[in-house]
Amino acid sequence: MQVRTAVLTRRAVLTAVLVGALCAGGVVPASAAETTAAPASWRESLATGEAAGVTTRDGAAGLDPSSAYLAPQDSASAQAEGVTDSPALVPTGLLTLGLRTLERPTSRVDSVLDADVPEGTTASVDVRGKRANGSWTEWIPSTTTGTNAGTAALPEATDVMQGRLVLTGSAADPAARPVVRDVTLTAGPAAATTESAVTEALALRYSVFATREGLVGGTTANGHRIVNRDHFVALPSRRALSPRGTSDYSVKVCAPNGRCAFAPVWDIGPWNTRDDYWNPPAQRQEWKNLPQGTPQAQAAFRTGYNGGKDQFGRKLVNPAGIDLGDGVFWDALGLKDNSQVTVDYLWTGSLRLSKVVAVGDSQESADGLVTVRAAPDAAASIVGIAAEHASVPVECLAGSGDAWVRIGAGQFVVAAALPGAGHVTSCGSGAGSGAPTD
């Protein structure tokens, strides 16, 4: 660890899932929205947000270095402080704000902060929106538009959004801490050319190098305290960081031995902090001249990209694009050393996802983990593990009495482990071979 850091069903099944999600969620495509509606503005409550490295007092939010995770200083802040070598680690805190349901869809959210931001520190807002299939877009960092002001353009129109306050400290002056007294967000009307992404799509899948995170007893970027043999992963961008205890952004990681793990993204790393390499170059936050799916660390380590260094000027000693919690590394995947793995970034697909809930204490579900089997049968071979706080694809019901849910080709979990899955169609007689019913 360096820095703190699907299988597609048939067209009819996916179309039914997407249409159902639209009807249930009441999401209106931007093309049907009124683009002349007046913007909606509101003040966020800072006292009730989910804090990680942030404390609130008298309604104001401040950085708490004792509980914040450490990340290399933002390059702009480092330059302002005259840091030319590898920037020092600085405390970084997150305050996830409440959900906001809008009267009309939006595709742009402006933010204005009433804040004291000492030199070398930062205070900004990330935003995200609910997608048509019920999942979230990634967090979009605001682009600065003025003093303590910014704007974020969402990738698609949404009528449910959420903000996240991001505070960072100073490397030159550890006592300098930003304090935010008020956050005002304004949701502009959806652009006429912005449409909700109601299209069939596989989750993005790439082969990347994985390392074991370790750090038992430490704290992840979302405030989770790492326990022995923990089940979570870290990706090198906070765009896909789940709030503590949630499954908002989850991955499927498969090892060369064929075993797979489903786990939530609860940390940032390794190496970089703004490398959402799974996104297209135009959308990628940094390293836009790299091919989609190529982590910056991989390019630097293997081909000398950026002089063989990460975004903070450190020499790469491995090409890692994902960090695995010890339980994912050892127990779910059976790895003994760092390895190349295949990763599905599940939130990027159109298939409906459902949160895993461990039920009881049995051979299928125990200690917050659910067994993944090769067929809808308790006697079938074990092919992986799904962590309780992960989201998994919901394809169809299988087995005797529809007691199993297929979550991938040759991957099944007991239906009781997905109580929030809602209506799920039957796989039919071809369940064992992976063929859904038309």
57 falls within a domain: yes
From 189, 210, 233, the end of a domain falls on: 189
pLDDT band at residue 252 under the 50/70/90 scheme: very high
Residue 381: DSSP 8-state = P
In a domain, 32, yes or no: no
Q: Which of 106, 99, 109, 105 is nearest to 150 (CA)?
A: 109
- 433, pLDDT greater than 50: no
Cα distance between residue 438 and residue 429, in whole Å: 11
Average pLDDT, integer, range 135-162: 95
101 and 125 together in one domain:
yes
Q: Distance between CA 133 and CA 348 in Å, rounded?
A: 11
Say if CB 167 and CB 83 are below 8 A apart: no
Bigger pLDDT: 128 or 351?
Answer: 128
What is the CATH classification number for the domain harbouring 92? 2.60.120
Q: Are residues 3 and 136 in the same domain?
A: no
CB-based contacts of 347, cutoff 8 Å, min separation 6: 135, 136, 138, 203, 240, 248, 249, 250, 353, 391
Question: Residue 84: which residues within 8 A CB-CB, separation 6 or more?
Answer: none
Q: In the prediction, which pLDDT does 359 show?
A: 77
Does residue 251 share a domain with residue 156?
Answer: no
Per-residue confidence at 10, pLDDT binned at 50, 70, 90? very low
Phi/psi of residue 402, nearest 5 degrees: 50, 45
Say how many C-beta atoms besides its own lie within 10 A of residue 429's C-beta. 10
Query: Do 220 and 161 share a structural domain?
Result: no
Query: Would 33 be classed as within a structural domain?
Result: no
pLDDT top residue among 91 and 71: 91
What CATH number corresponds to the domain at position 221? 2.40.40.10
pLDDT, residue 225, reads 93
Greater confidence (70 vs 303) lies with: 303
Q: Is 371 in contact with 382 (CB distance < 8 Å)? A: yes
Give mean pLDDT, residues 370-393.
Answer: 96
Confidence (pLDDT) at 73 = 54
Question: 34 lies in a domain?
Answer: no
The pLDDT tens digits of the residues spanning 176-230 come to 999 999 999 999 998 765 555 456 789 999 999 999 999 899 999 999 999 999 9
Instruction: Select from 301, 315, 213 the least CA-distant residue to 265.
Output: 213
- Checking if the pLDDT of 38 tops 70, the result is no
CA 400 to chain centre: 35
| pLDDT computed for residue 312 by the predictor | 83
Q: How many domains does the chain have?
A: 2
My answer on whether 278 and 387 are in the same domain is yes
Q: By CB neighbour count within 10 A (0-12 exposed, 13-18 middle, 19+ buried), where does 200 fall? A: middle
Residue 158 has pLDDT above 50, yes or no: yes
Same domain (yes/no): 176, 271? no
pLDDT digits (tens, 9 = 90+) for 98-123: 999 999 999 999 999 999 999 999 99
Judge contact between 111 and 153, C-beta under 8 A.
Answer: no
Dist CA 314 CA 293 (whole Å): 22
Q: Give the residue with greater pLDDT, 130 vs 435.
A: 130
Q: Which two tokens stand for residue 333?
A: 């995947």
User: Which residues span the domain enclosing 19?
Assistant: 1-27+196-438
Residue with tokens 């919901």: 394
Work out the average pLDDT over 353-374.
87
